Amino acid sequence: MTDTVSEIFELFRASGDQAYFGEAVSQTEHALQTAALAEQFGAPPHLVVASLLHDIGHLLHGLGEGVADEELDARHEAIGARWLADRFPEDVCAPVRLHVAAKRYLCAVEPAYAAALSPASKQSLRLQGGPLSEDQAARFILGRFGPDAVLVRRWDDKAKVPGLPTPGLDHFKPYLAVCAMRSD
């Protein structure tokens, strides 16, 4: 458990100051805002952790902010979920793996959601395959972790506010410890 928390904190120390792709916040600011929103919602610990770590794949792949400008989908959700799978149970990893599909789902079922996406999110949506089809959307939301992924996605979308005060990483250490211990 201590090694897992240390690894995560080191990733944020090493790469968390990078700009969050096309937004006016850093990777760390975005992660902390997303986790704080989950906590304010009263989410269970596994969703607070999933919210904090939903974009950890960006910190792991090391491709930098220009990846979208190069018309690449770095599949950060898959990279992050695979890395987390050795450290956390599925109820943490699945929402991370599915948070991009959740954006595609919401774009398919809520036209106002798609219209409200930031320019950077619209660009990444295109690279990620666009909205799900009607059949794909129906299957997605009925999946075991579909609703959890949608919650993480909604917090993710609201977590792009420059200068918003949030608790620091240390505040979320107990959540990480509780969830990481469950996977041991």
The number of domains in the chain is 1
Q: Is the pLDDT of residue 168 over 80?
A: yes
Token pair of 79, please? 């990279």
Residue 30, domain CATH: 1.10.3210.10
**pLDDT at residue number 62:** 62
For the record, the structure tokens of 121 come out as: 């999110």
Task: Please give the Cα distance from 171 to 174 (Å, whole number).
Answer: 7
Question: 89 lies in which domain range?
Answer: 2-183
CA distances from 23 to 34, 66, 78, 161 (A): 14, 12, 22, 9
Residue 1 has pLDDT above 90, yes or no: no
Residues 38-62 pLDDT 10s = 999 999 999 999 999 999 998 887 6
Work out the mean pLDDT of the chain and round it to a whole number.
Answer: 89
Query: CA angle, 26 as apex, 126 and 49 as ends, to 5°?
Result: 85
Q: What is the pLDDT of residues 94-124, one digit of tens each?
A: 999 999 999 999 999 999 999 999 888 888 8
